């Protein structure tokens, strides 16, 4: 017998929020029927409008708050700033940390059946604002002037934004300056519909420890109108700039960067440090956007690895070698694997930059390269994995189980796939010893987690 849906579209109803979803929406229940409402917080009483009523769940819009949560904070222009992906900025930072820590505990228990694993209190930031060292901002046109900012949710309409509260001030300043200069020089914005216009995106990167700034101009066209004047003005207005790069993306695509990149002025790379390790960052390099918390995360991964100097370590999904080079300071040998060939070249360059000779890097898929290494007799005492959001490939997880490294350190940007993969490793003979959430992206729903597993024979159980 089909259960009747207790609400319908355009209904106005009073609710009490009970929980938050993984993307930060409030959860209310009407006769057991879940309604997901952005901007609602647990414990709040509110009036909502039903926007959509599916068979098993619905969506609503917050109309009026009758009782506010003590975790709620008022942010100026909160709706405008939400376009930048800050789903939790209406929650106090203490409330955000509590939400993220609970999320990790819940998914470990629900998906991984790991109710008894020790989850440490989340490591947050002293200042959870203005932390991002990189911006990629779409450019549009309004009333004859260039605009740049964020897309409205579920649309390609750009909201002009002078400042992002989560970008470093140097990044905000760079984007604003380039937008103004390009507008003054008469550059046109790229139009998706007609596939015409010049300027598609403005990108800025900043080395927090070195004070070096890179500006990347992304255009549809191979030539930039008034190019020399544009460069001259950027150099004059941004004294910290060390590199100005032109990227050409002539395709009809939502991908930001194209394949052709040329240095217009200054150096090809800028530099930054995480701890004592120096990194060269190009326009195309992957580099963590929150260097302060990256050090916190990597210090914890290094602690969990427990290296004495005699160990052989494999770093799967190694990127430009960030974790690998941290590990190499304490390990006998580190082998890094990464599918992006350009990232491997960056990793080799970064090893050379730091005088690190006990790290080797190979390009390829971890699930292909590491099983081949294993068949060739190359094993590891410690295996470190830092996969994309989809988690580890199951074939790769089975290789880990066959290889039986004494220790697995799993760094994750998705608690749900982490929990799934930990369950597989547990069933294969590993024990999850402890889990440490780290808040890498304050004001957003994202949370990083580092966990350590020990092969049960080695754990003495």
Give the domain CATH number at 191.
2.40.50.1070
pLDDT (tens digit, 9 = 90+) per residue, 150-206?
887 777 888 888 888 899 999 999 999 999 999 999 999 999 889 999 999 999 999
Whether 20 and 158 share a structural domain: no
Whether 148 and 113 share a structural domain: no
Q: What's the mean per-residue pLDDT of the chain?
A: 92
List the catalytic residues: 413
The count of domains in the chain is 3
Distance separating alpha carbons of residues 303 and 371, to the nearest angstrom: 26
Direct distance between the N- and C-terminal alpha carbons of the chain, in angstroms, rounded to an integer: 50
Whether 221 and 167 share a structural domain: yes
So what's the pLDDT on residue 91?
93
Distance separating alpha carbons of residues 340 and 300, to the nearest angstrom: 25
Whether 255 and 360 share a structural domain: no
Whether 414 and 308 share a structural domain: yes
Which of helix, strand or coil describes residue 314? strand
**Phi-psi category of 34—alpha, beta or left, where left has phi over 0 and alpha has psi -120 to 50?**
beta
Whether residue 284 is contained in a domain is answered as no
Whether 103 and 140 share a structural domain: no
Whether residue 1 is contained in a domain is answered as no
At 65, give phi and psi (nearest 5°): -100, 125
Q: Is the pLDDT of residue 24 over 70?
A: yes
Whether 121 and 206 share a structural domain: no
The boundaries of the domain holding residue 403 are 98-126+290-459
At 290, give phi and psi (nearest 5°): -125, 85
Whether residue 279 is contained in a domain is answered as no
Q: Tokens 């941290």 sit at which residue? A: 326
Whether 161 and 270 share a structural domain: yes
- Alpha carbon 286 to chain centroid, angstroms: 11
Where among 274, 308, 343 does a domain terminate?
A: 274
At 448, give phi and psi (nearest 5°): -95, 150
- What average pLDDT does this structure show over 227-249? 97
Whether residue 178 is contained in a domain is answered as yes
Whether 315 and 232 share a structural domain: no
Whether residue 88 is contained in a domain is answered as no
Where among 26, 51, 69 does a domain terminate?
A: 69
Whether 304 and 406 share a structural domain: yes
**pTM to 2 decimals?**
0.89
Whether 229 and 327 share a structural domain: no
Tokens of 303: 């602690």
Nearest to 199 by CA among 178, 214, 213: 178
Other Cβ atoms closer than 10 A to 356: 16
Nearest to 45 by CA among 71, 66, 19: 66
Beta strand spans in 132-248 (E): 134-142, 145-151, 158-160, 199-207, 212-219, 241-248
Whether residue 281 is contained in a domain is answered as no
Distance separating alpha carbons of residues 217 and 199, to the nearest angstrom: 7
Whether 442 and 343 share a structural domain: yes
**Helix (H) / strand (E) containing 410:** strand 407-412
Q: Which region among 149-158, 258-267, 324-333 has the lowest average model confidence (pLDDT)?
A: 149-158
């Amino acid at each position: 017998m089909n259960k009747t849906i207790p609400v319908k579209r355009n209904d106005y109803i009073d609710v009490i929020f009970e929980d938050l979803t993984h993307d930060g929406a409030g959860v209310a229940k009407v006769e057991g029927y879940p309604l997901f409402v952005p901007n609602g917080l647990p414990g709040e009483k509110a009036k909502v409008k039903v926007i959509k009523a599916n068979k098993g769940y619905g969506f609503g819009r917050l109309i009026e708050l009758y009782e506010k949560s003590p975790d709620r904070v008022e942010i100026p222009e909160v709706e405008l700033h939400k376009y930048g992906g800050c789903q939790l900025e209406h929650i106090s930072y203490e409330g955000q940390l509590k939400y993220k820590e609970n999320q990790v505990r819940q998914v470990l228990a629900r998906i991984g059946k790991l109710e008894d694993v020790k989850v440490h209190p989340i490591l947050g930031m002293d200042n959870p604002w203005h932390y991002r060292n990189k911006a990629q901002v779409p450019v549009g046109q309004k009333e004859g002037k260039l605009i740049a900012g964020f897309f409205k949710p579920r649309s390609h309409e750009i909201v002009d934004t002078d400042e992002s509260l989560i970008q470093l001030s140097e990044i905000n300043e760079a984007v604003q300056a380039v937008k103004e200069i390009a507008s003054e020089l008469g550059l046109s914005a790229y139009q998706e519909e007609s596939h015409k216009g010049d300027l598609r995106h403005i990108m800025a990167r900043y080395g927090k420890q070195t004070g070096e700034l890179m500006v990347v101009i992304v255009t549809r066209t191979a030539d930039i109108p008034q190019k020399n004047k544009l460069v001259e003005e950027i150099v004059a207005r941004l004294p910290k700039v060390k590199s100005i790069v032109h990227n050409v993306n002539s395709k009809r695509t939502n991908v930001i960067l194209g394949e052709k990149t040329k240095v217009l002025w200054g150096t090809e790379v800028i530099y930054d440090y995480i701890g004592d390790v120096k990194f060269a960052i190009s326009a195309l390099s992957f580099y963590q956007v929150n260097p302060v918390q990256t050090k916190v995360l990597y210090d914890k991964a290094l602690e969990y690895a427990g290296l004495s100097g005699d160990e052989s370590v494999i770093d799967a999904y190694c990127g430009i070698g960030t974790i690998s080079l941290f590990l190499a300071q304490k390990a006998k040998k580190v082998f890094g694997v990464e599918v992006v060939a350009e990232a491997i070249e960056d990793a080799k360059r970064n090893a050379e930059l730091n005088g690190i000779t006990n790290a080797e890097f190979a390009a390829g898929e971890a699930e292909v390269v590491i099983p081949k290494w294993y068949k060739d007799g190359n094993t590891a005492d410690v295996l470190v994995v830092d996969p994309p959001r989809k988690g580890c490939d199951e074939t790769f997880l089975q290789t880990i189980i066959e290889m039986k490294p004494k220790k697995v350190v799993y760094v994750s940007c998705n608690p749900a796939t982490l929990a799934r993969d930990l369950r597989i490793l547990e069933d294969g003979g590993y024990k999850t010893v402890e889990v440490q959430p780290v808040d890498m992206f304050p004001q957003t729903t994202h949370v990083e987690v580092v966990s350590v597993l020990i092969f049960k024979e080695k754990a003495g159980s």
